Amino acid sequence: MPLTLHDISVWDTGERIDLVIPSVDAARAFGTGVPFGASEDRRSLDGRGGTPDVHVEASGLTLAPGLTDPHVHFRDPGQTAKETMATGSRSAAAAGFTRVLVMPNTVPAADGGAVDDSTPGGRQVLESGRRSVLDYLAHYEDDHGALPVRYDLCVAATVGRAGGRASDPDLWGERLPGHAEAGRHPVRAISDDGSAVPDAVLGDVLRNAGRAGIPVVDHCEHHDSGVMGQGPTSRRLGVEGIDSATETRIVRRDVEAARRSGVHVHLQHLSCAASVDLVRRAKRDGVPVTCETAPHYLALCDEDVARYGALARMNPPLRSARDRQAVIAGVADGTIDMLATDHAPHTAEEKSRGLSAAPNGVIGLETAYGVCRRVLVEGGYIDDRRLIELMSLAPNRLLGHASTDVAALLATGARCATHRVLDLAHVENPEDVDLVVLDTHAVWTVDPETFASKARNTPFAGWSLTGRPLATIIGSRLVFSRLDAAPRR
């Protein structure tokens, strides 16, 4: 049955339209989470049988292109106690994301090389009938069933992510966009995320990326020890601090490498004022560099580690309150191109080891929109339209995709008595239409126990946020919905 959302606002024009989503069954349309891939239930809402249309009064809701996250860790293969491709994808769909970029720090690393059975992840790959981690990920849906998110792959920059020598393009070149072997999940970037590309092999990695036509996505941080940002809080807590120079040295090096080579370098999770200044100057000079930051660097600073403990331990670490404000300013003035979660799941046992022993990283998908909106929009730094540009248009450009243009779809749509109708069953190339329905007024409290992710390691538990994705549409299909929770306006 079709689901019609009446009087919903288009994100960039404000036009009120009716949105018709085809082939939605009643149980899935109004569940707290749509079970993607479930069989269609053709019973009517009133029990009389048949497939009546479902109508939702959606005034006050917003229709926008689906969100894209260029930085997620789904831990599959090799660390599936933390997350899997299936649970990570459901978490993304529940958060309004229609596309993600999967990082290569799996176990074994996604470097294109053949695996053996010496690790649980290697055995996992071989048991699926695949020879490498890239094969396993590229064919995951063929082997395990469809997922409720589109995903691209990031190949490891060095063999095994060990930093010794650059990965071999002969082992992953056929997975680049446009090649027959690329399929639905091509390699769109190269990175040793979790570690910066070492100085000794950076030139080789840049050459590989330049020839492949993909960006180098670099982890801007290198240090051998330390727990949190260096400052009064680290000294008060009696733990080793990490100086911001461990980030800015990599940023400065990468900017100069991009300047010399002309290869696009994308800098991950900027966290300090000096990094933002370096990128701002590089962009004025026309250097081919882009960058991102993450919600936790916008919302928290090193002082919050005293409150949240290991749940606020991450890499790069949280910096000073001054650095936090500089990062926000970098978003506001356009220096920082996009927002990425760096979704990094860990088990409860790992994070319970205490600040000094716990692993780095926090999850971020299911809180991303609300946290970013609270800091940036409610804080008066940007508006809702700019937030969509940061979370959809810019990351899609990085990955070589175009966000769904709602206005263009409407240009050929029908019109009812009062406004235009966007019927996804009658658009050109419906398989390419990815959208999110947002309630920018929804007030909700973060409860990690309700997350679709396997992991719970977030510092935002208990936070009250305003603004939440209510429905996620991929290829004109509803893949997640919490529309039953939307107030009827």
Tens-digit pLDDT profile for residues 248-303: 999 999 999 999 999 999 999 999 999 999 999 999 999 999 999 999 999 999 99
Residue 412: predicted pLDDT: 73
Q: Active-site residues: which are they?
A: 342
- As given in the structure block, the two tokens for residue 101 are 């970029």
- As given in the structure block, the two tokens for residue 322 are 């001054």
pLDDT digits over 105-127, tens only? 999 999 999 999 999 999 999 99
SS3 297: helix
Closest CA to 54 of 67, 41, 38: 41
pLDDT digits over 159-212, tens only? 999 999 999 999 999 999 999 889 999 999 999 999 999 999 999 999 999 999
Mean pLDDT calculated for residue range 375-397: 98
Residue 180: predicted pLDDT: 85
- Is the predicted pLDDT of residue 434 greater than 50, yes or no? yes
SS3 104: coil
Structure-model confidence comparison of residues 476 and 484, the more confident one = 476
- Is the predicted pLDDT of residue 215 greater than 90, yes or no? yes
What are the C-alpha distances in Å from 320 to residues 136, 232, 304, 354, 419? 41, 9, 10, 21, 49
Lookup result for tokens 């910096």: 319
- As given in the structure block, the two tokens for residue 409 are 């779809």
pLDDT digits over 93-104, tens only? 999 999 999 999
In order, the DSSP letters of 173-227 are: GGGSTTSGGGTTS-EEEEE-TTSPPPHHHHHHHHHHHHHHT--EEE-----SS-S
- Is the predicted pLDDT of residue 54 greater than 80, yes or no? yes
Mean pLDDT calculated for residue range 381-392: 98
Mean pLDDT calculated for residue range 32-45: 35
Closest CA to 28 of 446, 449, 471: 471
Closest CA to 318 of 223, 221, 229: 229
Beta bridge partners of 265: 216, 289
Q: Burial, 361: exposed, middle or buried (Cβ in 10 Å; 0-12, 13-18, 19+)? A: buried
CA dihedral of residues 100, 104, 110, 116 (deg, nearest 10) = -120
Q: What global pTM score does this model have?
A: 0.94
Residue 426: predicted pLDDT: 93
Q: What are the structural domains of the chain?
A: 3-63+403-485 (2.30.40.10), 67-398 (3.20.20.140)
Per-chain mean pLDDT for the chain? 93
Mean pLDDT calculated for residue range 324-342: 98
pLDDT digits over 228-259, tens only? 999 999 999 999 999 999 999 999 999 999 99
Which residues make Cβ contacts (< 8 Å) with residue 192, sequence separation at least 6? Answer: 104, 105, 156, 157, 158, 161, 163, 218, 219
Confidence band of 44 (pLDDT split at 50, 70, 90): very low
Which residues make Cβ contacts (< 8 Å) with residue 127, sequence separation at least 6? Answer: none
H-helix or E-strand spanning residue 332: helix 321-332
